[in-house]
Every structure is written in structure tokens, then in C-alpha cells.
Amino acid sequence: MSHDLETEFADLAEALREARPAPEPEFVERLDQAVADSFPPEWADEAALGKAGHGGIGTLTERFRRRMRGRRVLLPAMATFAGLIVVATVVAAVESGRLGDGNGEPTETGNRVLSAGGVDSATEDAAMPESTASPRSAESGAIYEGARLATPARKDAAVPGGSRQRVVALEARITLGTDPDGTQDVANEVVAVTDEHNGIVMDSEVIDGEAGKAGASFSLLIPTARIDSAVAALSGIADLKSRSQELTDITAPTNRTEDDIAVTRARIRSLLGELEDAPDEETRRELEWGLRSERSRLGFLEARLKRLERRADYTPVEVRVETGGDTSSDDESGWGLGDAVDDAGRLLGVAAGVTVLALAVAIPIGIVVLIALAINRAWVRRSRRRALGDE
Amino acid sequence: MNGMLEAVPEPEAKSAALPGPRPLFEDLYRGSRDDLYSYVAGLLRDRVAAEDVTALAFERAFRKWDRFDPRKGSARGWLFGIARNAALDELRKRKREVPAIEPEEQQAPGSVAGTVIDRERRADLLAALGTLSPADREMVALKYFGGLTNVEIAEATGYSSTNVGTRLSRAMTRLRSALQTDDSAPNEEVAR
């Protein structure tokens, strides 16, 4: 590099330094003031800056932050409100998921039934071995309609091409706690509730005595259509110690029995026809013997079908009333350390569930947001380089 | 090429640019306010936009001041980096919204009789600067309007110091060529 060139660059550099633009005194004054005041929220508007950026300078986020800085209480309040809405939504979702368990007491069988009923019953029924149409009507009472988890739609659930319907049998066990003096009252209430629900007391036993010995037991049959209401009422008579409900799918045996009945009837009709045309006495005797056998079988099958239908129409409920121990109702409030531990456990479980659900929602959203931010950042960098003509 | 710039005398080093303890924001502001404005105005060639961007850069720096780490570089380099992003965003916006914006008239404050360079020469110089690409203009503005060292420019732009020297040298060569072209051409709109 020649000395002339170096000198020329030095001169040029000096000329540039001297020609550099300087800020207007008014601008300097306003900016000094803004810095001295630590950039108050209104500085960008009131200091008459942002003349080029109409409506304030900076990004949307910066403008929003300036606005919100003047409302320090509002922002946390909005955040809290939004958080509460999220938590409430999640809790509602959790609770709605338990609706099928009835009265908030989930049972394993109950859950299983809900999921079985939740799928298209036609799909499940199609997998059953029986494929012939059933003569049994939908009003058998053994369909889901009468079950606790039933929905009206299930009444019409049927196998394609047939009228088969799911048949379920419910069973419930309730254990109540009370003090010895209250045993008789509880027993009376159990009977009253059973009557109210058109149920049947199959068996009952009331034992008087001291705490631990006194008690009662009942074997009830409650119409399946009203089992929900009956179980709820029975559970409320005294301190509920335990309750369980089981559900058995008796579709297959019911359908099989119906099919057997149809086949047997056909055989009887056939035998009757043959009997009319019997050529001799020996043949007639053989046919009559076969006819008796088939009729006997038909009677047996019909009785079995009736039992199955009754099993579906009526739900056996075992009620036990106990006294003594820490589960009796000596204390009307009935809430102690054990209950507190139970409640705390439930609360922690719900909190953990809510957390897991919240994370399940937040993590994918967070990933998407992070990807969007990364893309935006790359795009901004690239467009800055383009603005500079540096690409 | 770097030799060319090494021959160019460096401006007096600013105290805020020196590595060491964390400076006060107010010190950084006082030591960089005019330099920052000059750089932004030189790059954008628009006084109003330059005021906005300068103010915005100081506000952002103020908000992010806690995150500034002196071990990673000088405060001036950091501040000019913020201003650079804001200025480039402004340039982006112009390209998108006002593609054919004309450069604003720029006047040096000392454009009165008795200043070191005369008005006509300054006008020629600024006009020639306006013919440079934004990338070249930025290098010149950072170096001679902002008064940054090559290291500080590297901190502000993300280029290496060597690259900064090369770019500066190239920009100065083009500026000189532009000035020579202006000298040979009829001087029409030099009243910038």
C-alpha cells in the first residue's frame, strides 16, 4: 500500500469523523430525561419520540410492556385468573372422567363396563359366537337401559342384521356403620328404601347387642332400572364404610339359551309333524318319547332364560350394618385423623393428576412455541442480513 | 488490507469500552449517546428514524442491563449490537413498507463558518456515503461515526476482527471511489 493511499484514507477518516451527524439538542434533552426517569411507561409517547413509528416505537411486546408497566397489579391478576381458569378446566376434565363411576366411588368393574359400553356395541356383538337373530325383545330390562352406566342410545345398540343386545347383570355390596342403638333404625330405613324402589327383601337379620356384636344384614333385589337411586339412598342411611358394584356381562349365555330354545321349539314342531304321520305304534312311541324329552329340555331352557332375565332385571344388593370399631358412628362428625390422611391422599392424587394433565397439555404447546420462536429468530436474522445487503 | 486501516488513526478509546468492572448504565449512556445516534443516522440516513432507533436501543439496553456480562465483551460493543438490530429492523420495515424511501437530508451540527471542513466537502462526503451499500455504510458508520474500535465492531456485528478490518477497508475503498466519481461528475444534489 502506497504512502499516498494511507494518507488519503487517513484524511477520509478524519473528514468522516468531522462530518458525522449529531443529535438535535431537543432530542438529547428528551432522551436524557427518559434515562434519568428510568424510561417510565409513558416516555415513548409523551416525550414526542416515535415520530417515525406511528403509535410508539419498538416491537408489539415492548409497547405492551410499556402499557402494562403502569398497571403492575393488573398483570399478576390476569396471570392468576388465567391460571385459575386452566386449573378449573383441568379439574373439570378430571371430574367429568369420573362420571361413569357414580357418586365419585370408582370401582374396577364399573370402569371396565364404561369402557366396554363406550365402544360401538355392534363391533363387540359382532364378535360373539351367536349370529342368529334373537326372539328376545329390547324390553327385556336386561339391557344397559337399566344399568347405572346406561345411556338411552344403548337401548338401540344391536348387532348389525340382528336384534341382539348387550345383557348385563349388576351386583352391589354396601357396608354401613352405626352405633348399637341405631341398628334397628338403620334396618328399618333399609327396608323402607327397598320398598320405595319396588325392591324385594330376600333375607334380613338384625342382631342386638353391644358395639361390635350388634349389626344387621340384608339381601335385597332392586329393579336394575332404579339401582342408581337405590344405592345412593342406601348409602346415605348411615356412615358409609364401603361400597362396591360389580357388573357381569351375561349376553353370551342369554343369547345361547335363546338360540337353544328356538332350536328346541323347532324340533318339537318337527316331532309333532312326524307324530301325525307316524306309520306304526312303535314309531309313535319313539316320537312321543323324543317329544317329552324336547319339551322337558324346553322347560329347562325357558326357566334358565327367565333366571337370566331376572338376574338382569333385578340387581342383588347385599347390605351389612356394622357397629363398633373406628368406623361406627359414635361421633356424629365422623371425621378423624384417618379421614384426614385419606383426604390428604386423595387431594395429593388429584393434584398429581392435575399436574400430569397440565404438563401433557403444556409440553406439546411449549415445544411448538419453542420451534416457532426458533424459526422466527432465524427468519429475523436472515431478513436483517438481507436488509444490510449482506447475503 | 488490514494494513490500510491500521494506518488510519484510531479514535481515543472510550472508558466504557475498556474491559474491567461493570460500568454504570448512566456512564455508558453519557459516553455513547452521541456516537450511537451518529452511527444510526449514518446507517439509516433519516434523522427522525435515527432518533427513534437510538431511543429504543437505549431503552432495550436499560431493560437488559442486568444481563450484560462484561466478561463477554465491552459495554459499547454490546450497546451498539442492540442498536444495530433495531436499525436493521427499521431498514427491513422500510424495504417492506416504503421501498423507495429517499435518504433524509443530514447536516453536521458544525456546518457553520469556521468548522474544520467546509460545507461543500461534507455534502460530497455524505452523498458519496449514501451511494454505498448498507453493509459498507454500516462499517463506515460504526467506525467513524460511532467511534468504535475494530474489536468493538466485531462485538456489535458478530463478525471476526479480521473480517471487520477487511470489510472496513473495502468500504473505504468504495467510498473513495464514490467520491472520485462525484468529483468528476457534475455536482447536482450535494446539498445533503
Amino acid residing at B119: R
- How large is the angle between the packed helices A25-36 and B47-63, nearest 10 degrees? 10
CA distance A89 to A101: 20
**B158-168 pLDDT, tens digit each:** 999 899 999 99
Give residue A375's pLDDT: 95
* pLDDT tens per residue across span B113-134: 445 456 677 778 888 888 888 8
Tell me if chain B has a CB within 8 Å of the CB of A55.
Answer: no
Q: Is A41 on the interface with B (CB under 8 A)?
A: no
Give whole-number Cα distances, A219 to A146, A148, A228, A237, in Å: 20, 19, 17, 16
Q: Of B49, B117, B143, which has the smallest distance from its Cβ to A19's Cβ?
A: B117
What's the pLDDT at A153? 34
Is there a contact between A44 and B55 if contact means CB atoms under 8 Å apart?
A: yes
Give how far Cα A361 sits from Cα of A196, A365, A373, Å.
47, 7, 19
Residue A35: CA atoms inside 13 Å, Cβ hemisphere, count? 24
A64 touches chain B (CB under 8 A): no
Q: What is the pLDDT of residue B145?
A: 92
Question: Which residue, A260, A116, A240, A124, is CA-closest to A174?
Answer: A240
pLDDT of residue A116: 34
Q: Which residue of B29, B107, B143 is in closest CB contact with A35?
A: B29
How distant is the Cα of A360 from the closest Cα of chain B, in angstroms? 32
The size of the A-B interface in CB pairs under 8 A is 158
Pairwise CA distance, residues B25 & A276, whole Å: 118
Inform me whether the C-beta atom of residue A26 falls under 8 Å from chain B C-beta atoms: no
Distance from CA of B88 to the nearest CA of A (A): 5
Q: β-pairing, A215-223 with A200-207?
A: antiparallel
DSSP character at residue B70 = G
Per-residue pLDDT of chain A (391 residues; tens, 9 = 90+): 445 555 668 888 888 888 888 899 988 988 898 888 888 877 766 544 545 545 566 777 777 777 666 566 667 778 888 888 877 776 676 666 554 444 444 333 333 333 333 333 333 333 333 333 333 433 333 333 333 333 333 334 444 444 567 888 888 999 988 888 888 888 899 999 999 999 999 888 888 888 888 889 999 999 988 898 898 899 888 888 888 888 888 888 889 999 999 999 999 999 999 888 888 888 899 999 999 999 999 999 999 999 888 888 889 999 999 887 654 444 455 678 888 898 899 999 999 998 999 999 999 999 999 999 999 999 988 888 888 876 6
- Alpha-carbon distance B51 to nearest alpha carbon in chain A (angstroms): 7
Q: Is the ipTM of this complex over 0.90?
A: no
Whether B168 has its CB under 8 Å from any CB of chain A: the answer is no
Residue A84 makes CB contacts below 8 A (sequence gap 6+) with: none
Burial class from Cβ neighbours inside 10 Å (0-12, 13-18, 19+) for residue A123 reads exposed
Grouped pLDDT means (10 residues each) for chain B, 192 residues = 39 45 81 93 88 90 89 91 92 59 44 54 83 90 92 92 91 89 51 34
Can you tell me the distance from the alpha carbon of A390 to that of B19, in angstroms, rounded to the nearest whole number?
30
Q: In what order do the strands lie in the sheet with A239-249?
A: A200-207, A215-223, A314-323, A168-178, A239-249
Are B115 and A12 an interchain contact pair (Cβ–Cβ within 8 Å)? no
Q: What is the pLDDT of residue B14?
A: 46
A382 and chain B: CB distance < 8 Å anywhere? no
B51 at A interface, C-beta within 8 A: yes
A165 grid coordinates: 343386545
User: A35, B58: Cβ pair inside 8 Å?
Assistant: yes
Task: Indicate yes or no: CB of A18 within 8 angstroms of CB of B116.
Answer: yes
Comparing alpha-carbon positions, the chain A residue that sits nearest to B4 is A6
